[in-house]
Chains A and B, each alone.
Chain A
Amino acid sequence: MSSDDDHVYLSLAEGHGDDARWAFGTGFEDPLHGVDTTLPEDVEAGAHAAFCLALADDALVAAQRLAQWITLAPELEEEVALANIGLDLLGQARLLYARAGQAEGAGRDEDALAYFRDPAEFRNVILAELPNGDFAHSMVKLLLLSSWRLAQLTRLAEHPDPVLAAVARKGVSELTYHRDHAAQWAIRLGDGTEESARRMREALAELWPYRAELYAAAPETRDEVEAVLAQVLDAARLEAPAETPVSMGRGRDGQHTEHLAELLAELQSVARADPEATW
């Protein structure tokens, strides 16, 4: 590589006045920087803020769970894959928080929404906050969540808010990779050894009921997601568990398991330790 090529980061550190910052440093915190953020008149601001916030919370909480696989994944490539998937979701969360803050109009930016809300104010679905469990559990979770989110984003690509539509369109290509990744693992494990198939069956039995909350939050996604899941299970030689209703709170109403509080305590600790910090 030529010496010029080595200096991309160095030239940043050498200083260009206020722009001499690393990614996400001071002055570059607004992920919608320079985007026309006017809200169309036919979009009701309060409802839109809540809608974007819920989509952002799903992504942030899922991204945090994926990040917890780092140093623990079964192989290095998988660790990189899960980190990349989490990074995509984190990117979506940033844009959606920024959009939610603008629609809300109360001066809250992405950091205020991600770091300074308590668990009961989060609107993510319960499935996103559940602990990772073993690798089979995490892949079933990823399959359910990514199939559902992809079905949502495909529809939101036509949303009247051009910012949300643009975020969704970009997210569709990202989520396509996430869902394929989870589906391929489901097949590899389900149609793998006796042990891997047993673990997949256990994960499915435990997580299958949480689909109810996904479909309650976005009923229009049900048929598409069910068809995808059927296709994956068939290829994985797995059977869909019997429908057993499970009593659970509704994440979209702020009813969460104790696992969310634990997750947020870790996620928010640095920002809360020094709320005025800039870097």
Chain B
Amino acid sequence: MVSAVTALDPRLGAARAAAAAVRDPELPMLTLADLGVLREVRVGEDGVTAVLTPTYTGCPALAEMRADVAAALREAGFGEGQVHVETQLSPAWSTDDITAEGRRRLVEAGIAPPGAAPKRAAGPVPLTLGPTRSAVVHCPHCGSADTEETSRFGATACKALRRCRACREPFEQVKEI
């Protein structure tokens, strides 16, 4: 529920815009809003609070995101002691949270966007013994669907390595989680 104070606070729009425009340190073509890690921005009597969720538990970029968001909010006019950045662990981030705009920007940068995240049924997680779990991944360079996974782990925790059999170019894919 949006409180009357929050809804009327003229600073909210500026705060939202400032936090949403911060870029991801590892995928700088994406803003935190594109990536879907900015859960909430609220303005109240104690200043402004931005709520972030981590992508991977061990992602070293989270501390930088936090610092960048705090810096952006101070630049937007919130004073010392008025800027708070909270972490929200639940519900966990999923690559499904990446926006359509974010997916477009990934392709533009030569990175294939993730497919739909695997749906977790109750009970034990099934094994995947085949070489790939993604259905069809299109090459971000030539658009071909004839691509193969070369490694499920890439230069950052969130990406896998693939190769296009049509244009022969290697590329990265944000892997589904």
List the interface of chain A (C-beta within 8 A of B).
1, 4-6, 8-9, 11-12, 16-17, 19-25, 28, 32-35, 77-78, 80-81, 83-85, 87-92, 94-95, 150-151, 154, 162-163, 165-167, 169-174, 176-177, 179-181, 183-184, 187, 224, 227-228, 231-232, 235
Contacts and interface: CB of A to CB of B under 8 A. Distances in A.
B58 A180 contact: no
B152 A19 contact: no
Main secondary structure of the interface of A (DSSP, over half): helix
B57 A167 contact: yes
Contact of A12 (B28, B68, B86): B68
Contact of B155 (A16, A23, A80): A80
Given A8-B23, A35-B88, A228 B127 contact: yes
B31 to A, nearest CB: 11
Which 8 residue pairs across A and B have the least CB separation, nearest first? A91-B58, A166-B89, A91-B57, A34-B86, A81-B153, A16-B71, A77-B151, A19-B67
A28 B56 contact: no
Contact of A181 (B87, B89, B152): B152
Contact of B67 (A21, A162, A176): A21
Given A8-B28, A88-B157, A166-B90, A174 B57 contact: yes
Nearest to A90: B58
B88 A172 contact: no
A184 B131 contact: yes
A166 B84 CA distance: 22
A132 B93 CA distance: 33
Nearest to B72: A16
A32 to B, nearest CB: 7
B136 interface: no
B125 interface: yes
Contact of A34 (B85, B150, B155): B85
A163 B90 CA distance: 8
A24 B89 CA distance: 18
Contacts of B90: 162, 165-166, 169
